[in-house]
Amino acid sequence: MNRAFSRKKDKTWMHTPEALSKHYIPYNAKFLGSTEVEQPKGTEVVRDAVRKLKFARHIKKSEGQKIPKVELQISIYGVKILEPKTKEVQHNCQLHRISFCADDKTDKRIFTFICKDSESNKHLCYVFDSEKCAEEITLTIGQAFDLAYRKFLESGGKDVETRKQIAGLQKRIQDLETENMELKNKVQDLENQLRITQVSTPPAGSVTPKSPSTDIFDMIPFSPVSHQSSIPTHNGMQPPPVPSRSNEIKRDLFGAEPFDPFNCGAGDFPPDIQSKLDEMQEGFKMGLTLEGTVFCLDPLDSRC
């Protein structure tokens, strides 16, 4: 699909771009609930979800429970579901995770959308009962999706491949710095071995090695030469060189590995800007389908 979204019939958007970009459009509705679905799109998928949630609400209504009221705030940043009085956010559905949106063409009240959960990655179908404005809410979500997709392309979307190239260059620089550090450590090891050889080898013609002089406390004076120089040789063999630490993982003073967003494999990518852009690109590429359908197929479903 080339376009960011598809719909059965083209209709004029209901709000100005500024209203959805700088602010949000509020709607009041009753929240029938959400349920997991197997597919991200499809009329039959949402129809089964609506039937399931309606049946559950009929049972709760017979027990004296009322359908909770919510406030929807729609903008280019997503669809927020809030408690009307406290304004507590119950759900925050980002637009690039919404793949399907439909409204009931019979009574103009029921509308639903499918959103991929950010934590479980499961597809959830949210169902609402509005006061004769289901189609308007559906179109508003579609307009917000369209604006968000355009904004994504204008800002970060076009830079996804460029960011990947930068990440590759950063990785190359890191590899070169590691290689340079390993060479420095090898040079240091050779210098240490040279110092040990110079200190441990006795002068020509000497039979007994001269004991090191001591201070008034019978202590060997401190020498800036490596401590390896004071270790005597055994059977004419030099002590083993100091092992190189170049292969050890560098850690900070808290023992943790320093975070480098540009030095991560594909399997362990942290939740940074790059992975967020990839996720948004995938979501917008799938697109949003707007569709009008019939949910109330029998008298039992005619009222919630």
Does residue 119 sit in the same domain as residue 181? no
Whether 104 and 296 have beta carbons less than 8 Å apart is answered as: yes
| Domain's final residue, options 196, 224, 248 | 196
| Domain's final residue, options 93, 123, 155 | 155
How are strands ordered across the β-sheet holding 78-82?
5-7, 288-293, 98-104, 110-116, 123-130, 25-37, 69-75, 78-82, 89-93
Q: Is the pLDDT of residue 180 over 80?
A: yes
DSSP state of 237: B
- For the record, the structure tokens of 105 come out as 């063409």
Cα 79 to Cα 26: distance, rounded to the nearest angstrom: 10
Beta strands in 38-77 (DSSP E): 69-75
In a domain, 245, yes or no: no
Cα 264 to Cα 164: distance, rounded to the nearest angstrom: 11
In a domain, 203, yes or no: no
In a domain, 31, yes or no: yes
Domain of residue 182 covers 157-196
Q: What is the pLDDT of residue 20?
A: 93
CA pseudo-torsion sign 52, 53, 56, 57 = negative
Lowest pLDDT segment from 12-26, 68-82, 262-276: 262-276
In a domain, 104, yes or no: yes
Please compute the mean of the pLDDT values over residues 109-126 and round it to a whole number.
93
Does residue 123 sit in the same domain as residue 73? yes
Q: What is the pLDDT of residue 160?
A: 59
Q: How many domains does the chain have?
A: 2
Percent of the chain's residues with pLDDT above 70: 62
In a domain, 239, yes or no: no
Does residue 91 sit in the same domain as residue 146? yes
Does residue 32 sit in the same domain as residue 151? yes
Does residue 114 sit in the same domain as residue 147? yes
Does residue 72 sit in the same domain as residue 87? yes
| Domain's final residue, options 196, 227, 249 | 196
Does residue 163 sit in the same domain as residue 33? no
How many helices (H) and strands (E) the chain has is answered by 5, 9
Beta strands in 76-198 (DSSP E): 78-82, 89-93, 98-104, 110-116, 123-130
Cα 29 to Cα 264: distance, rounded to the nearest angstrom: 44
In a domain, 21, yes or no: yes
Read off the pLDDT of residues 251-290 as tens digits, 9 standing for 90 and up.
Answer: 554 455 554 433 444 444 445 666 667 777 777 777 788 7
Name the pLDDT band for 83 (thresholds 50, 70, 90): very high
In a domain, 252, yes or no: no
Does residue 109 sit in the same domain as residue 191? no
At 185, which helix (H) or strand (E)? helix 160-200
Name the pLDDT band for 102 (thresholds 50, 70, 90): very high
Task: Count the Cβ atoms, other than its own, within 10 Å of residue 274.
Answer: 19
Does residue 87 sit in the same domain as residue 43? yes
Please compute the mean of the pLDDT values over residues 147-162 and round it to a whole number.
74
Q: Is the pLDDT of residue 230 over 50?
A: no
Does residue 97 sit in the same domain as residue 171? no
Looking up residue 137, the CATH number of its domain turns out to be 2.30.29.30
Q: What is the pLDDT of residue 210?
A: 54
Cα 228 to Cα 79: distance, rounded to the nearest angstrom: 68
- For the record, the structure tokens of 174 come out as 């890191």
Name the pLDDT band for 196 (thresholds 50, 70, 90): confident
Looking at per-residue pLDDT, the higher value among 9 and 204 belongs to: 204
In a domain, 292, yes or no: no
| Of residues 47, 176, 153, the one with CA closest to residue 105 | 47
At 36, which helix (H) or strand (E)? strand 25-37
Q: What is the pLDDT of residue 267?
A: 42
| Nearest-10 Cα torsion for 268, 39, 31, 297 | 180
Contacts of 152 (CB under 8 A, 6+ apart): 96, 280, 281, 284
Does residue 151 sit in the same domain as residue 115? yes
What mean pLDDT value characterizes the chain?
76
Does residue 133 sit in the same domain as residue 29? yes
- For the record, the structure tokens of 182 come out as 């390993």
